[in-house]
Homo-oligomer: A and B are copies of this chain.
């Protein structure tokens, strides 16, 4: 089978879950693990999923991309988006002729460095709608949803993109190829950019607490307005009712903790730049006033540093 070799970089919840599904679809899926190399090498992943528990025994487990033998057809990056994680360097050794690079990550503007460093490689950008996290070294908890939207960062369509979508769909993961992945990223950002930092800064608030506290609910609405204004300034016109739908959806959904709050509680670094800082940066470049986003961003960055400095 062609286009069959997959290497996952960053085997947290997202990487293990979607990697495991591609293995179920018949692909040869290897993983690069850092902290959890030994337990994964020994036992693979144990995935508890709302869609039925399953195991994922990677075709290979490596400590770095340099150890991966031969060439991958898909190099799927599922690390957190953090300033200290330099994806361009981390993947370098595994980028071979014909390798497509796939980013399943949060945030906006996350593709630019990779696109610049690897101009001759297909770059597939993907947004995941899923509640999944790594509970321990090789144990993954999949609690909600689980679908993908992906598209070529530089636009257009490709056989590799179609093939990857079909593989996901074969394994029961709804995966839609979209023409404008940037638009999809902004749609997701309209929710992520308010709720993630507010959940942390409000003292550890789940979505229900946010929705039922009028001042926080209003704050999220105003933050969403600011995100939409930044998108509009960049020519991305989000649906008129997106804010109202997000508020309603969040209120109706069972209470849950945002991924940023989970990271904060585990004293892990926050994706503050990719989810909030980048929007502030784009706003400033476009001279769009985002006073609430700036406020939240300044406080979040400081709280993140302070949180990690504590034992």
Contacts and interface: CB of A to CB of B under 8 A. Distances in A.
A213 B299 contact: no
A301 B203 CA distance: 9
Given A292-B295, A295-B292, A307-B203, A302 B218 contact: no
A205 interface: yes
Contacts of A203: 302-307
A299 B204 contact: no
Contacts of A303: 201-203
A298 interface: yes
Interface in A285-301: 291-292, 294-299, 301
Identify which of A198, A216, A291, A297 gathers the most chain B CB atoms within 10 Å of its CB. Answer: A291
Interface in A57-115: none
Interface string A204-237: 1100010001011011001000000000000000
Contacts of A202: 298-299, 302-303, 306
B222 A301 contact: no
Contact of A306 (B205, B219, B304): B205
Nearest to A205: B302
